[in-house]
């Protein structure tokens, strides 16, 4: 076999192995070292004299010394602390009161709560699970349609993937070698666009078919303005201030993402203390979960960079590039094909594997097709929303099923999430047709005048 054929065998074998359920990070490292030993082998060398071991150590050092990735554990810690600060129940109740006169008020309040909480934490599983315990039963008790209620929780819980400060965007920035700050700026309007489409869809369904979202009884909606104001002041505004301060410091150049994440982590501790939730056990759990999630991301980076280096050395990357170039695709056709592939990868894989392993295959082609890597990253971040809501894997659906009442079927959760997947596709089309939705803010903030 030629080296390029060995490279393609390496890629195919990797996909086959992860389909069997093996840990992805360690599979990447094992495949990279195994095929790398072949690629760097010279007759007569000692076993550990092979250069693949030097490459593995070098890639591990690059991950540990990457300034951009420093923000990952800090944002994760901020998210886990906020998650445990007993704020979610207050936030949902206050937004429910504020949205009382809107059709489908409970569903709208759920989406707004998910958007805020997902933005503060960026942890999809935690948001979907907590909202599944809090908002989903509340909607079912109010007589809301099971499918619509499930779709609202699943879709809303995934918004943290896109809306800054998103962990995905930091990982993409590190992978693509671009500015995380510009990427955050580019994600602001698409994130609010997608959340807005979700809200418009829910209100539209509620107006067209009121039976899906019955009005709440008067005793739940006749709340004095002073009570509503107090509820918002003690739940919505503190969290909104935390998010705005962290994001604003990044976007306006007052702090790097790592510095803002550090300040946000400290502020989250103060917020937890203000709600009386700060204790040693909570702090211990937050640190443990942060360490575990960070280790997973770092091992994925080490494995991915080792794997991709060996894959390129064998000529596999060149084979893929030549395959794309032989199709004579336009920029539009390339973007559509790339997004279709990423969408299909979202069925068996989560966003970490897609961003760290497969997106780098497309990155060298962006210059050829004259595609802005920031614009491409926003489309990928939007597309990755579908990975959590599209069967057969649809992790958001499984998270919700795990905390749902027994009568709620997994098939109903899947069916409820699919209309929101359609909203994602609509938002992707809008961003492509009107690229200023993504590119105007970073151009306005960071283009010298």
Tokens linked to 219: 């005793």
Please give the pLDDT value at position 317: 78
Residue bearing the bigger pLDDT, 95 or 418: 418
Please give the pLDDT value at position 124: 67
Cα–Cα distance between 385 and 172 in angstroms, integer? Answer: 15
Q: What's the average model confidence in pLDDT over 342-369?
A: 82
Q: Nearest 5°: CA angle at 370, between 388 and 441?
A: 65
What does pLDDT average to over the chain? 85
Taking the model in full, what pTM does it have? 0.84
Please give the pLDDT value at position 375: 94
Share of the chain above pLDDT 90, in %: 17
- Which range is most confident: 177-181, 198-202, 340-344, 409-413? 198-202
Cα separation values, 116 from 127, 394, 414, Å? 10, 22, 24
Cα separation values, 121 from 30, 77, 91, 159, 191, Å? 32, 9, 14, 10, 15
Type and span of the H or E element at 145: none
**Looking at 38-42, 94-98, 241-245, 289-293, which range is the least confident one?**
94-98
Q: What's the average model confidence in pLDDT over 422-436?
A: 93
Banded model confidence at residue 395, pLDDT cuts 50, 70, 90: confident
Does the pLDDT value for residue 65 go beyond 80?
no
Q: What's the average model confidence in pLDDT over 148-157?
A: 90
Tokens linked to 266: 């400290």
* Segment 2-18, tens digit of pLDDT: 888 888 888 888 878 87
Please give the pLDDT value at position 122: 66
* Segment 276-334, tens digit of pLDDT: 888 899 899 889 988 888 888 888 888 888 888 888 888 887 888 888 878 888 888 99
Cα–Cα distance between 416 and 248 in angstroms, integer? Answer: 35
- Burial (Cβ within 10 Å: 0-12, 13-18, ≥19) of residue 292: exposed
């Amino acid at each position: 076999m030629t080296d390029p054929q060995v490279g393609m065998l390496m890629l195919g074998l990797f996909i086959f192995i992860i389909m069997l359920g093996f840990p992805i990070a360690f599979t990447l490292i094992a495949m990279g070292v195994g095929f790398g030993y072949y690629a760097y082998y010279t007759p007569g060398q000692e076993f550990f004299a092979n250069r693949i071991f030097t490459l593995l150590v070098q890639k591990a050092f690059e991950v540990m010394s990457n300034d951009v990735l420093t923000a990952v554990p800090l944002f994760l810690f901020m998210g886990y602390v906020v998650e445990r600060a007993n704020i979610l129940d207050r936030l949902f109740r206050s937004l429910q009161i504020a949205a009382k006169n809107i059709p489908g008020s409970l569903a709208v309040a759920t989406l707004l709560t998910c958007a805020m909480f997902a933005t503060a934490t960026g942890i999809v599983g935690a948001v979907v699970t907590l909202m599944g315990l809090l908002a989903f039963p509340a909607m079912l008790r109010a007589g809301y349609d099971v499918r619509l209620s499930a779709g609202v929780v699943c879709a809303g819980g995934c918004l943290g993937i896109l809306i800054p400060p998103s962990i995905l965007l930091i990982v993409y920035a590190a992978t693509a070698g671009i500015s995380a700050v510009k990427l955050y700026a580019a994600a602001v309007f698409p994130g609010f666009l997608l959340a807005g489409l979700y809200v418009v869809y829910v209100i539209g369904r509620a107006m067209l078919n009121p039976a899906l979202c019955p009005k709440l009884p008067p005793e739940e909606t006749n709340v004095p303005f002073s009570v509503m104001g107090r509820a918002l002041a003690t739940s919505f505004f503190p969290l909104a201030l935390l998010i705005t301060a962290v994001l604003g410091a990044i976007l306006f150049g007052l702090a790097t993402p790592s510095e803002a994440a550090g300040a946000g982590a400290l502020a989250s501790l103060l917020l937890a203390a203000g709600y009386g939730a700060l204790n040693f056990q909570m702090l211990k759990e937050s640190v443990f979960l942060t360490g575990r999630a960070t280790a997973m991301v770092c091992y994925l980076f080490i494995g991915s960079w080792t794997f991709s280096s060996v894959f390129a050395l064998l000529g596999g990357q060149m084979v893929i590039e030549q395959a794309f170039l032989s199709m004579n695709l336009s920029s539009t056709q390339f973007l559509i094909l790339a997004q279709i592939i990423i969408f299909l990868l979202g069925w068996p894989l989560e966003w970490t594997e897609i961003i760290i392993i497969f997106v780098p295959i497309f990155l060298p082609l962006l210059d050829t097709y004259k595609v802005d890597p920031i614009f491409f990253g926003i489309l990928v971040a939007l597309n990755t929303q579908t990975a959590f809501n599209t069967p057969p894997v649809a992790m958001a659906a499984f998270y919700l099923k795990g905390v749902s009442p027994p009568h709620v079927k997994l098939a109903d959760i899947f069916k409820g999430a699919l209309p929101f997947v359609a909203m994602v596709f609509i938002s992707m089309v809008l961003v492509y047709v009107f690229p200023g939705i993504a590119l105007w803010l970073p151009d306005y903030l960071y283009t010298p005048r």
